[in-house]
């Protein structure tokens, strides 16, 4: 696993030990960033269910100002911190051990709005639509900002979830797909 573009291009990242996470492949990562970037001119990101932190680190490498990484699992938190130290981006990253709903409430209390939110939850445990509805209700994404989801290929995500319109849906194998949503501008 590595950073594929930007200031940290080519830097190797560690995966979370064990088989509790599914690292996003370079092919899938490149497809995501081709839609939402490929580079950023500042902004804040949220990597929810961060695992190794590779999507958030890729975003920082491609120009986001800062990234908040959240995961529930201690091994993931340790791996994220190691990876952030490896790429020397500690001053641009915040890492929290928390569940998704509590993390969303915490960032909402801070009045944060994100340019991009990555959602790659455990497939069998988390339903994306209610999570996206909560993100919308809390207005956590700037107008024109992104929600990038990795999910089971057979999930039934809609083309429109509240004020997020799906711009890309692609299946990468029999089990994995990505859907990329953009927050529509208010009338």
| Residues contacting 72, CB < 8 A, separation 6+ | 97, 98, 99
Q: Are 4 and 28 in contact (CB under 8 A)?
A: no
Residue 41: half-sphere exposure toward Cβ, Cα within 13 Å: 0
Per-residue pLDDT at 186 exceeds 70 = no
Phi, psi for residue 109 in degrees, rounded to 5: -60, -30
Give the integer Cα–Cα distance in Å for 121 and 40.
24
Is this model's pTM higher than 0.85 or not?
A: yes
Per-residue pLDDT at 30 exceeds 70 = yes
CA 146 to the chain's CA centroid? 10
> What is the phi-psi region of residue 55: left when phi exceeds 0, alpha when psi lies from -120 to 50, beta otherwise?
alpha
pLDDT (mean) for 111-131: 88
Ordered structural domains, the chain, with CATH: 26-169 (3.40.50.150)
Give the single-character DSSP code of 93.
E
Q: What pairing do the DSSP bridges indicate for beta strands 93-97 and 66-71? A: parallel
pLDDT digits (tens, 9 = 90+) for 45-99: 999 999 999 999 999 999 999 999 999 999 999 999 999 999 999 999 999 999 9
pLDDT digits (tens, 9 = 90+) for 75-88: 999 999 999 999 99
In this structure, of 13-17, 65-69, 174-178, the range with the lowest mean pLDDT score is 174-178
Closest-CA residue to 72 (of 15, 25, 20)? 20
| pLDDT, position 156 | 75
């Amino acid at each position: 696993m590595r950073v594929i573009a930007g200031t940290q291009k080519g830097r190797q990242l560690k995966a979370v030990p064990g088989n509790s996470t599914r690292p996003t492949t370079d092919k899938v990562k490149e497809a995501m960033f081709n839609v939402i970037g490929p580079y950023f001119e500042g902004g804040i990101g949220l990597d929810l269910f961060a695992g190794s932190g590779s999507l958030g680190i890729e975003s920082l490498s491609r120009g986001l100002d800062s990234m908040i990484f959240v995961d529930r699992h201690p091994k993931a938190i340790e791996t994220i911190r190691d990876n952030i130290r490896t790429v020397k981006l500690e001053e641009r990253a915040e890492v929290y051990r928390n569940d998704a709903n509590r993390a969303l409430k915490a960032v909402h209390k801070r009045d944060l709005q994100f340019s991009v939110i990555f959602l790659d939850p455990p497939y069998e445990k988390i339903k994306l639509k209610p999570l996206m509805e909560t993100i919308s209700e809390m207005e956590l994404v700037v107008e024109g900002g992104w929600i990038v989801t990795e999910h089971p290929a057979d999930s039934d995500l809609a083309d429109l979830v509240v004020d997020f319109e799906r711009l890309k849906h692609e299946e990468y194998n029999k089990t994995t797909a990505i859907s990329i949503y953009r927050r529509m501008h208010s009338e």
